[in-house]
Amino acid sequence: MWNQPPFRKTDVESGSTPLYPMMVESPQLRWAFIRKIYSIITIQLLATIAVAATVVYVRPISTFFATTGAGLALYILLIITPFIMLFPLYYYYQKHPVNLILLGIFTISFAFAIGLTCAYTSGKAILEAAILTAVVVVSLTLYTFWAARRGYDFNFLGPFLFGALIVLLFFGLIQAFFPLGRTSMMIYGCVASIIFCGYIVFDTDNLIKRYSYDEYIWASIALYLDIINLFLSLLQIFRAAEN
């Protein structure tokens, strides 16, 4: 166990101080793991931005998906591909470089779906959602690291967030078949934003304390989905406000 006098001032990223009380593993190894996860997520987000921007600004792409039967079928395939990729990722998440190839397919297919979502949204709404997402993610990440060092634990959020997510999914299905109007869309976006803010805290806390070193693929996917879903929820709010 790493014990340190409370009065000694140290750099929290020096790797020599524990990330949270009662930490028994090497802080250097955990910090290296955390940097690895955020490096992967950064690459995922950059790839997502590049692909989504291409779909948005190259109009023939979005037109093909929106006006042709083949485009619609391909759009549906792109939506379900990330979920399909989870199955091989479950079996090969420790096998390098297969795990990274599968993660790349997962990310690119997700990015196409996001690009098509943004293709018919105003640039103002996209920019507002992107800026607010960045601010919230950075703030919640810093807060979770700060809270972890002071002994707070957010593992109790798991069951509540899962239950809220189930309600959110079924509410989304109801919206798909029985549209409830702009107000309900804004409410849906606000509730979804709160849920995924909770997931960012929950998954960041798991990253600090619980993920093992060979689970970097799952840790990256979890935080990536949290960030993307938060962005999409905020985008829905701003888009509904413009209508």
pLDDT digits (tens, 9 = 90+) for 151-196: 999 999 999 999 999 998 888 888 777 777 778 888 888 999 999 9
* pTM higher than the cut 0.85: yes
Alpha-carbon gap, residue 212 to 39, rounded angstroms:
17
Cα 121 to its chain centre, rounded Å, is 21
pLDDT at 15: 52
Could you read off the pLDDT of 190-240 as tens digits, one per residue?
A: 999 999 999 999 999 999 999 989 899 999 999 999 999 999 999 999 988
Nearest to 202 by CA among 160, 234, 167, 239: 160
Share of the chain above pLDDT 90, in %: 49
Strand boundaries in the chain, DSSP class E? none
Q: Is the pLDDT of residue 10 over 50?
A: no
Which helix (H) or strand (E) segment holds residue 3: the answer is none
Alpha-carbon gap, residue 219 to 44, rounded angstroms:
13
Rg (CA), the chain: 20
DSSP label at residue 25: S
Could you read off the pLDDT of 48-64 as tens digits, one per residue?
A: 999 999 988 888 888 88
Write the single-letter amino acid at 104.
Answer: G
